[in-house]
Amino acid sequence: MEDKLIIAVANVPVLYDCTLFTYRDLNRRNQAWREVAETVGETDNVCKKRWKSLRDRFRKEKNMEKEAKRSGAGSAGGYKPWRFMAVMGFLTPFIIDRETSSNVPRQTLPPSTLVAEEESQVDSESASQSTSQSTSQSTSQSTSQSARQSASSSQPGGEC
């Protein structure tokens, strides 16, 4: 069934090519699924569900293949290609990895440069923090001293 489904979907680009104008036409896609279901001999819901499973597996296998080819990746265990990889190869141009986001900035400089910059940045931050802390402490001390003096001089009776 999978072979027939893959070939049937491959012949109907409106089901996988999101660059086509008709891809957004839900009625056209539903009609295409009915045609595929008729070719395969299953219901359109069964075909949709099975196609989603096959497509997701294809994406997963492509990612695993990319990881296996990565520099420094060990070849222990080896990578055995999925049996439908060649047949579903027509999907490769339409499988697009989404941009990921993170709150951690990307490292564009060599690690040794980043470490030196981080250390100098930490040193300058700690120096500015200690300066601002000592300034705020001396300001608060002088404010509290002047407040005590004015409070003692304004009290009736003062010192004995």
Walking along the chain (160 residues) 10 residues at a time, the average pLDDT comes out as: 91 92 93 95 94 93 80 62 87 80 71 57 56 49 48 42
Query: What's the pLDDT score for residue 15?
Result: 93
Query: What's the pLDDT score for residue 64?
Result: 83
- Count of the separate structural domains present in the chain: 1
Query: What's the pLDDT score for residue 157?
Result: 43
Tell me, yes or no, whether 149 lies in a domain.
no
Give the integer Cα–Cα distance in Å for 153 and 117: 54
Tell me, yes or no, whether 64 lies in a domain.
yes
- In terms of residue numbers, what domain contains 55? 2-69+81-94
Query: What's the pLDDT score for residue 71?
Result: 62
Tell me, yes or no, whether 134 lies in a domain.
no
Tell me, yes or no, whether 130 lies in a domain.
no
User: Which of these, 45, 50, 17, lies nearest to 33 by C-alpha position?
Assistant: 45
Give the integer Cα–Cα distance in Å for 61 and 87: 13
Tell me, yes or no, whether 159 lies in a domain.
no
> Tell me, what amino acid is at 156?
P
Tell me, yes or no, whether 158 lies in a domain.
no
Tell me, yes or no, whether 121 lies in a domain.
no
Tell me, yes or no, whether 19 lies in a domain.
yes
